[in-house]
Amino acid sequence: MAHLSGILLLLFLTAVASKSISYDDPVFGQPEQIHISYGLDPSLMVVTWITMNPVNDSIVEYGENGVLNQRATGNVSIFQDSGTEKRREYVHRVVLRNLKPGHRYSYHCGSDVYGWSPLFWFAAMRNDSGFVVRAAVYGDMGKDIAYSMPRLQEETQLGHFDLILHVGDMAYDMNSDNARFGDEYMNAIESIAGYIPYMTCPGNHENAYNFSQYTAKFSMPSSMNTFGGDANHFYSFNVGSAHIIGFSTEFYYFTEYGFDQIINQYQWLEQDLRKANQPANRARYPWIITMGHKPMYCSNSDDNDCLTTEGYSYVRNGLPFVEAYGLEKLFAQYGVDLEFWAHEHSYERLWPVYNSTVHNGTKGAYIDPDAPVHIVTGSAGCPERHDPFGIPRSWTAYRNNDYGYSRMNIYNASHLYLEQVSDDKGGKVVDSMWLIKSKHGPYSYFE
Ligand SMILES: *[C@@H]1O[C@H](CO)[C@@H](O)[C@H](O)[C@H]1NC(C)=O
Ligand SMILES: *[C@@H]1O[C@H](CO)[C@@H](O)[C@H](O)[C@H]1NC(C)=O
Ligand SMILES: *[C@@H]1O[C@H](CO)[C@@H](O)[C@H](O)[C@H]1NC(C)=O
Ligand SMILES: *[C@@H]1O[C@H](CO)[C@@H](O)[C@H](O)[C@H]1NC(C)=O
Ligand SMILES: *[C@@H]1O[C@H](CO)[C@@H](O)[C@H](O)[C@H]1NC(C)=O
Ligand SMILES: *[C@@H]1O[C@H](CO)[C@@H](O)[C@H](O)[C@H]1NC(C)=O
Ligand SMILES: *[C@@H]1O[C@H](CO)[C@@H](O)[C@H](O)[C@H]1NC(C)=O
Ligand SMILES: [Fe+2]
């Protein structure tokens, strides 16, 4: 008898145990990897998060003054990693609409049954040209040896930034350890990306399985105002007095995923730049700023990368033999003002350059320069360490091999300020520049 009740108890405990690891257990439906991104207009903000178990509800409760009196629902999609474990994660995406420009909102995300995240907050994008945009800009930040992460987290919490531009390469690599590196990275940046829009472009380290984790987990805006997926490769948005374009340099190097992606992106870029240059648009958003991972120019010791046909000059000059779909001419033709790059694990500020020739302004190098200004900022910290410099080139204005990140303030139609923070030197500003323009548009050799 005692024996039988022992068996019954065992069965009971087994049932409890199996229940406790069931997918229905709320504990396993907890939101994580929470981050936000801008939509195409200031009335939108997108909240994206992950659950490890299937949770069908995707809900954001939000409101002003700390009161969560509004509720928005969205969609869940499955991300299946292609590693040996074929892990599945559930990506929740909710678009908050009709936000009041500049107003501050609190939110949490999750669901009634499976639980809620902690409270986060954000400011809806301001919609006036007087909005001074303060951004942190960097590439090549991993989940380990991420030297810039603590300062970025602190500065974000102190309200120093309106948004982040992450110029490709993260986690090192998102797919490692059956996609767990990606999870850890997204959780690590939550204290940044849960509060201010985290806008990205892909780097070579995101390439695994056709960039699948990168396209699944971020939510960049497409021209259709849908979010994530292919839109994460190339997209644009307006903020303050700037039109910002994120695009993929990796299409030129991972052609095994589809050659046509280069052509599609090129055509999209041309159309987007043409639209941004319509007089009313350029007047309202005079600055055109691009971000792409692999630089057109640099002066690192492995600068074959940036200069030779084996290197990244495909992005600049176009594909070999056909010499088509290069971006340098396209960007200059449409008067792109500033181009951010990364990939080289260092910081380099360039003189205004076009076709390997420096085109300073007449009143100062950066006062009405006659070419786009390039900045290579890929030193936020990763396990691959630094990329040393080679001989300075004619376009080299300043370079620094400390770990760090860039800060950009877009003041108004004429004034843009940029500075470089060194994490090796305790947050000291090691470089700064003013880019001053009395007019924006195509450079003189295209007029
Ligand atoms: C932003 O401002 C433009 C006019 O400059 C207006 O057409 C648009 O409706 C505004 N959007 C929001 C969300 O207020
Ligand atoms: C989610 O929805 C699917 C399809 O409607 C259903 O089969 C599944 O049981 C649901 N899962 C949960 C946890 O509610
Ligand atoms: C959910 O996805 C469907 C298509 O799959 C789309 O029509 C709908 O707008 C999406 N809803 C939200 C809130 O994103
Ligand atoms: C890679 O993904 C893109 C969409 O992001 C798709 O168009 C392309 O066909 C895919 N390539 C391969 C080889 O699966
Ligand atoms: C770039 O400069 C070279 C000479 O240095 C010239 O032959 C070539 O036509 C120029 N290309 C463009 C696109 O201006
Ligand atoms: C551009 O301006 C900088 C700063 O004045 C100067 O050092 C550099 O030599 C100039 N380059 C050319 C080609 O004029
Ligand atoms: C633009 O911003 C700069 C820097 O704050 C300032 O010096 C300048 O006066 C401003 N210009 C206008 C037209 O407001
Ligand atoms: Fe890279």
Q: Does ligand 1 have an atom closer than 6 angstroms to the CB of 42?
A: yes
Total domains present in the chain:
2
C-alpha dihedral (271, 275, 277, 279), degrees to nearest 10: 150
Cα–Cα distance between 349 and 175 in angstroms, integer? 32
104 and 253 inside one domain: no
411 lies in a domain?
yes
Q: Does ligand 4 have an atom closer than 6 angstroms to the CB of 258?
A: yes
Task: Kindly state the helix (H) or strand (E) to which residue 261 belongs, with its residue range.
Answer: helix 260-276
Query: Which residue among 27, 51, 53, 56 has the greatest number of ligand 2 atoms within 8 angstroms of its CB, and so is best to mutate?
Result: 56
Query: Which residue among 129, 241, 409, 411 has the greatest number of ligand 7 atoms within 8 angstroms of its CB, and so is best to mutate?
Result: 411
**End residue of a domain, out of 77, 102, 123:** 123
What value does the mean pLDDT take over residues 70-97?
A: 97
Contact yes or no for 155/424 (Cβ under 8 A): no
Per-residue pLDDT tens digits for 180-207: 999 999 999 999 999 999 999 999 999 9
pLDDT band for 312, please (50, 70, 90 cuts).
low
205 and 311 inside one domain: yes
155 and 119 inside one domain: no
From the CA of 260, give the closest atom in ligand 4.
7
Residue 446 CB contacts under 8 Å (≥ 6 apart), including other chains? 332, 333
**End residue of a domain, out of 123, 142, 163:** 123
| Residue 401 belongs to domain spanning | 133-446
Q: Does ligand 3 have an atom closer than 6 angstroms to the CB of 55?
A: no
* C-alpha closest to that of 334 among 260, 261, 275: 275
Q: What is the pLDDT of residue 320?
A: 78
- Backbone dihedral angles phi then psi of residue 262, each to the nearest 5 degrees: -60, -45
98 and 173 inside one domain: no
32 and 153 inside one domain: no
Q: Pick the ligand that lies closest to the CA of residue 342.
A: 8
pLDDT higher than 90, residue 287: yes
> 42 C-alpha vs ligand 1 centroid, how far in Å?
8
Cα–Cα distance between 80 and 90 in angstroms, integer? 9
342 and 220 inside one domain: yes
Q: Does ligand 5 have an atom closer than 6 angstroms to the CB of 323?
A: no
Measured in whole angstroms, the distance separating CA 251 from the mean position of its chain's CA atoms is: 17
- Backbone dihedral angles phi then psi of residue 181, each to the nearest 5 degrees: -60, -40
**End residue of a domain, out of 123, 148, 169:** 123
Per-residue pLDDT tens digits for 331-381: 999 999 999 999 999 999 999 999 999 999 999 999 999 999 999 999 999
Cα–Cα distance between 230 and 392 in angstroms, integer? 37
Q: Both tokens of residue 101?
A: 């420009």
Instruction: Answer with the residue of higher pLDDT: 90 or 301.
Output: 90
8 lies in a domain?
no
Q: Both tokens of residue 135?
A: 């951004």
